[in-house]
Amino acid sequence: MASSVLSAASHSFSPSSSLCSRQTHKGKPKIGGNTLRFNKGLNSFPHARSSGRISMAVAVNVSRFEGIPMAPPDPILGVSEAFKADTSDVKLNLGVGAYRTEELQPYVLNVVKKAENLMLERGDNKEYLPIEGLAAFNKATAELLLGAGNPAIKQQRVATVQGLSGTGSLRLGAALIERYFAGAKVLISAPTWGNHKNIFNDARVPWSEYRYYDPKTVGLDFEGMIEDIKSAPEGSFVVLHGCAHNPTGIDPTPEQWEKIADVIQEKNHIPFFDVAYQGFASGSLDEDAASVRLFVARGMEVLVAQSYSKNLGLYAERIGAINVISSSPESAARVKSQLKRLARPMYSNPPVHGARIVADVVGNPVLFNEWKAEMEMMAGRIKNVRQQLYNSITSKDNSGKDWSFILKQIGMFSFTGLNKDQSDNMTNKWHVYMTKDGRISLAGLSLAKCEYLADAIIDSYHNVS
């Protein structure tokens, strides 16, 4: 049998032996005393009658899951586990993209606390949401993304379905591609957020990379990006980071976005935006959504996955949305129906707590203004840390290396240009925990720690080949 292996390791002994202690139970040997006793005597063991000795077959259970290999640790979440195990007083966790205060503590936004108090005062229940999510949330999130007066919203050409944060929303979009765009390829930037590839792999959607990062300049390889998008099969899906590209922090300029839109439109591609940092990158909701709005204003059909993990600090609430901007209200209605159909067997319906927070904050003018002020504060702290890190490095490094790319990047991440060995040195020698591609999260850095981090970066860059 697949679930067990019968071992013929014949443990031979006489019935009176004390090698194994058993008691009788319905004629079966059972562990109990110091001797073997059988309520039916030796007739229960045919071998004993002929040889005077008992030969027992021992069953050893083997799991049916034995063939499943151990999965490798997650490259980002594994950093946090290693950080926790480190006992050093100077350790820094710059791996996970989660906002921290100047004291490097998690931060719950004040508007979030106020929205939660509103729920308690109203006595909101915990009944199931519809499959597409909270209606007030879906309305607020589409208007936040596109602008309340956007023609696509007025013409009912936007299909919005609440998803399980950005990851779950991307996964719904990937499932839609797999089911209704058979054979279509997805283009992903090189590098990109590590989970993008996992999402499309598990959705069985083929993908390839387009050039994005130029290690020579620690900047954007714009010509390579355009060339790769041009050469992709017509009708491909192009995954674009709406703002604050993860992991590089390198965004196209407004003029470059226009050229990217030109090429995608010429090739009849479909842009698929990942918007994880709206308002959190620059501090402006409108500025950070400009790339998406540019494509929609051109009349292009667009997919957009949104997340409220960063800009509202709702990391654990798993609150986001998938938006499909279509060319007609009829096709948008059909798309929404199929997104709901895909969501039903995945998770049935989304959680309500985070959705109500977003709906209350965006829908309440007072809370909305408070939120914008808090976002500006968070974005401002990261900008200050970015500037201070640059100042510390340039004041200490006399090699003539140009570190200005640090200031040109945007958002919570900085791509340092350090390779794997140099990143390992950051961790092993300096207790700075980061991903092995050289990305650091400035959200986990304080002004007080900038000089220490500058020393670690300079040492790792110059002394580790």
User: Measuring CA to CA, which residue among 381, 408, 387, 409 is closest to residue 454?
Assistant: 387
Give the whole-angstrom CA distance, residue 246 versus residue 250: 8
User: Is-catalytic flag, 310?
Assistant: yes
Residue 83, both tokens: 């950080």
Give the whole-angstrom CA distance, residue 411 versus residue 383: 8
End-to-end CA separation in angstroms for the chain? 55
The H-assigned helical ranges of 289-434 are 290-297, 329-347, 353-363, 365-396, 405-408, 420-428
What are the φ/ψ torsions at residue 59 (nearest 5 degrees)? Answer: -90, 125
Catalytic residue among 193, 207, 371, 403: 193
Give the whole-angstrom CA distance, residue 187 versus residue 205: 11
Catalytic residue among 185, 310, 336, 449: 310
Could you give the count of Cα atoms lying within 13 Å of 71 in the half-sphere of its Cβ?
A: 4
Give the whole-angstrom CA distance, residue 334 versus residue 328: 10
User: Is-catalytic flag, 274?
Assistant: yes
User: Is-catalytic flag, 259?
Assistant: no
Give the whole-angstrom CA distance, residue 303 versus residue 160: 10
Catalytic residue among 221, 228, 251, 274: 274
Looking at the DSSP bridge assignments, the partners of residue 306 are: 275, 321
- Just list the catalytic residues: 193, 274, 310
